[in-house]
Amino acid sequence: MIKLTDLSKKYGVKEVVSKVNLSLNTNKLTAIIGPNGAGKSTLLAMISRLISSDTGEIFLDHQSLKTWKQNFLAKKLSLLKQANGFELKITVKELVEFGRFPYSKGHLTEVDHQKVNQALNILGLKDLVNEDISTLSGGQLQRAYIALVLAQDTDYILLDEPLNNLDMKYEVQIMKTLRYLVKQLGKTIIIVIHDLNFAASYADEIIAMKNGKIFKSGLTNQIIDEKVLSKLYEIPIQIQNISGKPFCLYFN
Amino acid sequence: MKKLIHSFPLKVIALLILVIVSCILFLTYQTYGNWDFALSLRSSKLLAFILVGIATSFATITFQTLTHNQFLTPNILGLDSLYTLVQTTVFFFFNGKQLLGSESVATFLLTIAIMVIFSVLLANFLLHKGQNNLFLLLMVGIILATLLNSITTFLQVAMNPNEFDALQTKLFASFNNINSQYLPIAAIIILILVIFLWFKSLTLDVLHLGDDQATNLGINIPPLQFSLLVVISSLIGVSTALVGPITFLGFIVANISYHFIGTYHHRQLFIGGSLIAIFLLIFGEFMVEQVFKLNTPLSSVIEFTGGIYFIGKIIYERKNG
Ligand SMILES: Nc1ncnc2c1ncn2[C@@H]1O[C@H](COP(=O)(O)OP(=O)(O)OP(=O)(O)O)[C@@H](O)[C@H]1O
Ligand SMILES: [Mg+2]
């Protein structure tokens, strides 16, 4: 379980995450939604120790995050950042192999190769394994990064807008993969996502953030609600049921 | 065929041949029958070049990975100016004459220790303040180097002329005045540091993905940065002690290695870089001394070409990215 108590982060005088108290249940797919600048990425970065919090504490499996050894943590929790980029001459396969670093420290074993291949398969990267990542399209690159995180094979997986740049086929495929990981492999996945319909169809629980605070959190059907969403995004949002599934309509 | 051209062992063999040929040329060309004399003189120079080549390439490649920046070198940030300043200061305040005798190795070690402390403070500050602003960083570095040089000059002017003379000839090395008394201790220090970096090289590979991704993969960045900075500044210190400051050698060598070796694997970059550096130094010295019979020291030639390469790279990157 991930538990946040009174978690705050300030940049200058601006409090971008303020006094967040939250429990994230294990073995669930939790979606974090909310307007741009709500503090979603900042929250994830604090949970994965990329940035430090100003106040408050984070507990992972009842143990304060500060007391976790960095290398143990890397086998327990992984993060895909919202924007990734570096200039490096490296192939897709080599990039994904870095996901095994916490285990093998660069000397890959049979198990490591298996995990890497599995991740490459899931993301449909088999034909691209030897491509230089600088030659990939935006969506292909995003899939390679997701594969890296999958290869890391952690209990907790935090994904910051993983559907960026993906076409519909891969959007659906990745959400299905995430469901599979939660259901069959017992992973806990927290995903920041802007597409409400994906959140509505695939998430078990939703956390809505606004202005650095938890606006509302609960089961998916509690949050996918006309009143809640309209207030969260400050635009009218209608919800229609199509073959038993809720769909949010926000075009005028 | 394409695979063959890109194979790492082949590139290493090619570089090794270049290095060996230039060593032979350097050692045997025009000895005027004075074999023993020429060999003993030249072989200590050769050893110094090999040590400096290894130290510079390991230090620079590591530094560039650490700062995620292929323009920076420990030298451009003024680390070798710092060495000269520390050495002058030590000489200035602890009655220099004494230190020149049997205790010179102790001074040498003390200087390197002081320099490591200073450079860690300095580089920590730079790493945290301006990571994403290349031009600010460069300017800070260059201004700092000038400042350090001015302080050095000030101290030297304040010395009594005899002491200064001693300092000049005995402590400040150059390519034509190699401090061969430091060769054994320098060899040992460099060997230890290089082995350390060799064992860190798989971790350095991960650092290429960026500090955040490295953290995600279980690397604790601050202590790593700290230990690497200590190693880098020691390597630069030792190299400066042997042959004096050379600002652009590391820059040239690192960038040629990235192009020629074409990989992100540090082990390969380290090997390739060291061989390239050794070749450039020995072959360069041979050309300057024997073929062109220039009075200009090799270091000036390196600074000149390196400076042009540096400016060229800046212009190229600005146009293309
Ligand atoms: N390094 C930083 N320095 C200053 N302000 C920052 C920094 N990082 C984030 N912020 C500010 O914190 C606020 C929250 O940013 P954050 O990236 O967490 O938002 P978000 O909810 O992920 O938004 P988006 O949906 O656009 O990704 C924003 O107002 C942003 O400007
Ligand atoms: Mg964000």
CA B33/CA A81 separation, integer angstroms: 68
Closest Cα to atom 26 of ligand 1: A36
Check pLDDT > 90 for residue B117.
no
CB A247 within 8 A of CB A241: yes
Q: What confidence score (pLDDT) does residue B1 get?
A: 42
Which residues face A249 on adjacent strands? A238
Is B226 inside a domain boundary? yes
Check pLDDT > 70 for residue B316.
yes
Considering only CA atoms, give the Rg of chain B: 20
Question: Does B260 reach chain A within 8 Å, measured CB to CB?
Answer: no
If you measure CA to CA, which chain A residue comes closest to B262?
A: A89
Per-residue DSSP letters for chain A? Answer: -EEEEEEEEEETTEEEEEEEEEEE-TT-EEEEE--TTSSHHHHHHHHTTSS--SEEEEEETTEEGGGS-HHHHTTTEEEE-SS-------BHHHHHHGGGHHHHTT---HHHHHHHHHHHHHTT-GGGTTSBGGGS-HHHHHHHHHHHHHHH--SEEEEESTTTT--HHHHHHHHHHHHHHHHHH--EEEEE-S-HHHHHHH-SEEEEEETTEEEEEEEHHHHS-HHHHHHHHTS--EEEEETTEEEEE---
Nearest chain B CA: its distance from A246 CA (Å): 36
Pairing of β A188-192 and β A205-210 = unpaired
Selecting from A50, A85, A88 the residue whose C-beta is nearest the C-beta of B264 gives A88
If you measure CA to CA, which chain A residue comes closest to B203?
A: A105
Q: pLDDT tens, A42-66?
A: 999 999 888 888 888 899 888 888 8
Check pLDDT > 70 for residue B255.
yes
**Ligand 1 close to Cβ of residue A212 (< 6 A):** no
Best probe of the A interface among B216, B217, B225, B267, by most A CBs < 10 A, is B216
Q: pLDDT tens, B193-217?
A: 999 999 999 999 999 888 888 999 9
Is B75 inside a domain boundary? yes
Question: Does B217 reach chain A within 8 Å, measured CB to CB?
Answer: yes
Q: Tell me: ipTM over 0.90.
A: no
Question: Quick one: pLDDT band at residue B100, thresholds 50, 70, 90?
Answer: low
Inter-chain residue contact A105 with B219, CB threshold 8 Å:
no
Q: What confidence score (pLDDT) does residue B124 get?
A: 66
CA B264/CA A171 separation, integer angstroms: 31
Is B260 inside a domain boundary? no
Q: What average pLDDT does chain B have?
A: 81
Is B83 inside a domain boundary? yes
Is B230 inside a domain boundary? yes
**Ligand 1 close to Cβ of residue A18 (< 6 A):** no
CA A22/CA A20 separation, integer angstroms: 6
Closest Cα to atom 13 of ligand 1: A37
Question: Quick one: pLDDT band at residue B230, thresholds 50, 70, 90?
Answer: confident
Residues from chain B that touch A78, judged by Cβ atoms under 8 A, are: 216
For B112, B155, B177, B196, B321, the CA distances from B164, given in Å and listed in that order, are 21, 10, 16, 37, 48
**Ligand 1 close to Cβ of residue A11 (< 6 A):** yes
Nearest chain B CA: its distance from A167 CA (Å): 25
Question: Does B180 reach chain A within 8 Å, measured CB to CB?
Answer: no
Residues from chain B that touch A81, judged by Cβ atoms under 8 A, are: 212-213
Q: What average pLDDT does chain A have?
A: 88
Residues measured by CB to lie within 5 Å of ligand 2, the ion: A 41, 82
3-state secondary structure of B174: strand
Inter-chain residue contact B218 with A49, CB threshold 8 Å:
no
Closest Cα to atom 24 of ligand 1: A36
Q: Which amino acid is at A198?
A: F
CA A249/CA A238 separation, integer angstroms: 5
- Atom number of ligand 1 nearest to Cα A38: 21
Inter-chain residue contact A101 with B217, CB threshold 8 Å:
yes
Q: pLDDT tens, A194-204?
A: 998 999 889 99
Most confident listed range (B52-66, B117-131, B231-245): B52-66
Is B34 inside a domain boundary? no
Inter-chain residue contact B206 with A98, CB threshold 8 Å:
yes
In which domain, by residue range, is B122 found? 60-244
Q: What is the DSSP letter of B245?
A: -
CA B172/CA B170 separation, integer angstroms: 6
CB atoms within 10 A of CB A199: 25
b or e along B159-190 (b: 16 or more beta carbons within 10 Å of the residue's beta carbon)? Answer: beeebbebbeebbbbebeebbeebbeebbebb
Please provide residue A20's backbone torsions phi and psi, each rounded to the nearest 5 degrees. Answer: -85, 125
For chain A, domains (ranges, CATH) are 2-249 (3.40.50.300)
Token pair in block for residue B286: 């041979």
3-state secondary structure of B157: helix
Please provide residue B219's backbone torsions phi and psi, each rounded to the nearest 5 degrees. Answer: -95, 130
Nearest chain A CA: its distance from B6 CA (Å): 13
Nearest chain A CA: its distance from B317 CA (Å): 13
Inter-chain residue contact B202 with A90, CB threshold 8 Å:
no
**Ligand 1 close to Cβ of residue A56 (< 6 A):** no
Q: For the packed helices B266-286 and B249-261, what is the interaxial angle rounded to 10 degrees?
A: 120
**Ligand 1 close to Cβ of residue A51 (< 6 A):** no
Is B236 inside a domain boundary? yes
Query: Count of domains in chain B?
Result: 1
Q: For chain B, what percent of residues have pLDDT higher than 70?
A: 85
Is B184 inside a domain boundary? yes
Best probe of the A interface among B3, B6, B8, B213, by most A CBs < 10 A, is B213
Greatest alpha-carbon pair distance for chain B in Å reads 66
CB A190 within 8 A of CB A32: yes
CB atoms within 10 A of CB A4: 22
Nearest chain B CA: its distance from A225 CA (Å): 35
CATH number, domain with residue B195: 1.10.3470.10
Cα B44 to ligand 2 centre (Å): 59
Predicted confidence pLDDT, tens digits, chain A (252 residues): 888 888 999 888 888 998 889 988 889 999 999 999 899 999 999 998 888 888 888 998 888 888 888 888 899 999 988 877 667 788 999 999 999 999 988 888 899 999 999 899 888 888 888 888 888 887 888 888 889 999 999 999 999 998 888 888 888 888 888 898 899 888 999 999 999 899 988 999 999 999 989 998 889 888 888 888 888 888 888 888 888 888 888 876
Inter-chain residue contact B68 with A71, CB threshold 8 Å:
no
